Amino acid sequence: MEKRQVHYSELGLANTREMFARAMAGKYAIPAYNFNNLEQLQAIVVACVETNSPVIIQVSKGARSYANETMLRYMAMGAVQMARELGSNIPVALHLDHGDSFELCKSCVDSGFSSVMIDGSHLPFEENVALCKQVVEYAHKHDVTVEGELGVLAGIEDEVSSEHSTYTRPEEVEDFVKKTGVDSLAISIGTSHGAYKFKAGQPVPPLRFDILEECEKRIPGFPIVLHGASSVVQEYVNLINQYGGKMEGAVGVPEEQLRQAAASAVCKINIDSDGRLAVTAKIREYFGKDPKEFDPRKYLGEARKELIKLIKHKNEAVLGSAGKA
């Protein structure tokens, strides 16, 4: 049976265009939180409603497969309705994180996503341009916004992996944006995917704000995105290790550097690993203290409460998005 095409407006979703314009004017970044299941999504909605923050809920290719394409659509619609029932009209966008093909991006557009990312950063420049342009031409027909990427982030997260990072070349950004027609651009300035971003015991190298500033000069007023921006909260790492985990040497990006980035042209910051750590830490702690428990509502409920706490902190103290909906 042929699937019916669903426009994101049917689900009550917003796209990112107005979100980004307001974020750049207000010198803050829109939070883009990854989710895979109900509890994560509930936590994102509650935290963003309670801090009155706009939000981008995003899924990777793997998360979309895990949650099921149809179920995911109704989860996104449910997230919007949940916010409304909590008395809030915060804008909510549904975004594909690190789409790896035109076909995947097209499928997401057709199933109700309001924003998609096509990641051709591993390709030669002209091939990246061609792939991104193809996605833009299709997505814009449906008023769906598109994120591209220049530069490669090191680390592993879901299907995305690279042993080495490649900083974005500022001299390429203007040409890339002009040729592709993208609505936002993810750049590489020293963040990385996963929980092991830097070597433990060594000074964390500062983000390359010189690259960010040069990109901003070349594409003034254009939305810039940071991936791999989890701080790898040591409280959670320690809790995981205390209750049987093995995460020695997990280090992330200092929050003060992310706040500095959010006050510039960076208007979207992706956070995934920190949420995973919060959830895993509280579940491990729960089982460590009560190994007889087998009711998922209890240990997942505790994980959800901790995730709400984390997201509220990020919105208020790191991204500056609290109160901006």
Determine the 3-state secondary structure of 199 from DSSP.
coil
- Mean pLDDT along residues 215-226: 96
In the predicted model, is pLDDT for residue 163 greater than 80? no
**Cα–Cα separations (whole angstroms), residue 166 to 163, 194, 287, 294, 310:** 10, 16, 41, 45, 30
**Distance from chain centroid for Cα 264:** 18
Could you give the percent of the chain with pLDDT greater than 70?
92
Range of the domain at 57: 8-319
Cα dihedral value 153, 101, 111, 186, nearest 10: 30
- Element holding 168 (H helix, E strand): none
Q: Is residue 207 part of a domain?
A: yes
Q: Is residue 35 part of a domain?
A: yes
Q: Is residue 324 part of a domain?
A: no
Determine the 3-state secondary structure of 174 from DSSP.
helix
The total number of structural domains that make up the chain: 1
Residue 288 pLDDT level (bands cut at 50, 70, 90): very high
- Burial class from Cβ neighbours inside 10 Å (0-12, 13-18, 19+) for residue 11 reads buried
In the predicted model, is pLDDT for residue 296 greater than 60? yes
Among the residues of the chain, which ranges form H helices? 17-26, 38-50, 61-67, 69-85, 102-110, 125-141, 170-180, 209-218, 234-242, 255-262, 273-289, 296-313
Write out the two tokens for 210: 């010189």
Q: What is the pLDDT of residues 48-105, one digit of tens each?
A: 999 999 999 999 999 999 999 999 999 999 999 999 999 999 999 999 999 999 999 9
pLDDT computed for residue 279 by the predictor: 98
Contact 321, 92 (CB under 8 A): no
Q: Is residue 194 part of a domain?
A: yes
In the predicted model, is pLDDT for residue 159 greater than 80? no
Phi first, then psi: what are they for 117, rounded to 5°?
Answer: -110, 130
Q: Is residue 87 part of a domain?
A: yes
pLDDT computed for residue 315 by the predictor: 98
**Distance from chain centroid for Cα 261:** 15
Please list the active-site residues.
Answer: 97
- Mean pLDDT along residues 307-317: 98
Write down the mean pLDDT value for the chain. 92
Write out the two tokens for 62: 């793997």
Q: Is residue 1 part of a domain?
A: no
Buried b (16+ CB within 10 A) or exposed e, 177-198: bebbebbbbbbbbbbbbbbbbb
Residue 209 pLDDT level (bands cut at 50, 70, 90): very high
CATH classification at residue 112: 3.20.20.70
In the predicted model, is pLDDT for residue 3 greater than 80? no
Q: Is residue 96 part of a domain?
A: yes
The one-character DSSP state at 189 is: S
**Distance from chain centroid for Cα 275:** 11
In the predicted model, is pLDDT for residue 300 greater than 80? yes
Q: Is residue 293 part of a domain?
A: yes
